[in-house]
Structure 1
Amino acid sequence: MTTATNAPAWTTAVDDAPIAVAAAADLVAIAGAGGTAWILEAATGTPVGTVTLPGGLLAAAFSPDAAHLALSGPVGHALWRRADGRVLAEQTGAWSSAVRWAAPDRLAVASGRRALVLDTDGAQQWATDPAPSTVTDVAWLREGRRLASSAYGGVRCHERHTDKPVAEYKYLGSHLAIALNPNGRWICTGNQDSSIHIWRTRDGDDLTMQGYPEKIARLAFDDTGRWLASDGAPDITVWEFSGKGPAGTSPRSLRAHETITALAWRPGSSAVLASAGAEGTVAFWRADSGRPGTRVKPTWMRELPEPVTAMAWADPHTLVIADYEGRIEAWPLPDSLAR
């Protein structure tokens, strides 16, 4: 393990506690808990604009071309258009904890017990029928032709303009996060009952990864779909999905934090994961090092004066981090990981 001493590429600050960092193309957005998102140039940190959603923010996502920024929060959602700075805010009164783009022109929003599909003008294209409880996360599969949403009792999938689900993956409990591997073969949820539940989409075969001491709120596949990272303990676990999947296997694990606050896979196929903890540490590690069932040491680590609350890769060589006090830094990838 090495401890970082190199300086950030740029540093700035926002006047709020960041809850999310989003990045696409040449832009980065810092979403503050109070309801304002700051939009910055990814290369320099120069401010581009701000968007405010009254009532606070919970999630942020750029469209793939960075032409639009979607935000959601406890009372609704908002859209910002880069071309003219137009902001459309919808205060629906519905808890909205997730936004996901399927393409530059199509957006899914978790809105209360429904998932809404909007165009870039904020117009509703269609909506799912009510789930058993508040929709906690949404994700796209089949190249944006099918929408998955999680709520109490499992995951429901909808095709375009279908309010009733075309497929259901059931598991009794509260599902907090969805992760889909890129080819759509696996649907995974992180759950309130301290488990990860996994379904194979073609036939619904499922399995449960249990034994975590805490709920699973952060769950993410890398770009290849081979590695699934999760929180749920002081250890980060990484399950391997090559071949027939993780059934009967053990995960690799990393312990570098007291409480995990952020996870972010480096874009591409490098198997590099960035993680952050409430004690103020940020670590990089390689998922393909070590063996299943072993604890892997961080390749690179740095300590900060404040807890990191959110992070995102601006590009494969730059990680943008945000701490509790609103300090934002862009870190170049360490040379030891640049392969």
Structure 2
Amino acid sequence: MNAIETFELTRKYGDATVLDDLTLSIKQGTILGFLGPNGAGKTTTLNLLIGLIAPTSGQARVLGFDSTREAQRVRERIGVLLEDHGLYEYLSAYDNLEFFGRVNKMSKLERARRIQELMEKVGLWEKRDQQVKEWSKGMKQKLAICRALLHQPKILFLDEPTSGLDPASQRMVREEILDLKASENVTIFLNTHNLDEAERVCDEIAIINKGRLITRGTPDEIKTGATTDGHILITIDSLPAEAEAELNALPFVKTVTTNGQRLQVITDTPMRSAEINRLLVSHGVAVSELHRQQASLEEIFVQLVEEERHDA
């Protein structure tokens, strides 16, 4: 079953198209990373899905409900963590969750059970009586995730959950996201421009630029299917000058770099290693190791966004 579906979802502000014809489906229990540069349409998409704004055209369905016409029913079943954590700094951590539990019309018994369960899960229970203003950003973010999960939502929407955190806190929040997905069985829609974060925690990634979806798949599928430059790493005994000159003269070779017995050749596609090897062997070069280095998600992301910019 799909937890989220959009059909030709479009949002305009005057003449500016912020989201253009987005069609997307996300299966239940998936962590989807929604990536894009600043201004790509990520936050607009999230706001459309949770019913804060209406589309210009098209439709979004969340847990089977229309996110515009049935926005209240959607919001009752989802948890949302925006960039502003929304906590009350002068209340204790426990009282924050108690307040939001009342807002969600949870019974007294259910509030007490759920608050303790979540705070223990993220390692905050022993600090429950401390004022939130005394806490680090990472601890506040963990509490905000507890708040978003308090009423046991089926879907959790996270908007840049590690933005502004130090590396240790980022790692802590990422670990909590993975643990909570497993223990709470929630679908997670993760808005981010942090590529390392997306690759570490997401089952699938969708990349958006200028309001248009440009690719979607698992991190490995995106890296395998991308038509990026080829990075070929070779271990050799030595490289004669004439062999290096011939390598540089090949039409598909972009750069040749040597460092002792290490040779790196960057080509126009990843599928040139056999030709490189033949040329080296023809010059009597002893090749002890040769492998293709897969492009990183960051390299692919930059290339896709650049291609969109040039095609526009």
| Structure 1 and Structure 2 fold alike (TM over 0.5) | no
Looking at secondary structure, tell me which structure has more helix per residue: 2
Q: Give the greater-gyration-radius structure (CA).
A: 2
Looking at secondary structure, tell me which structure has more strand per residue: 1
Q: TM-score, normalised by structure 1?
A: 0.28
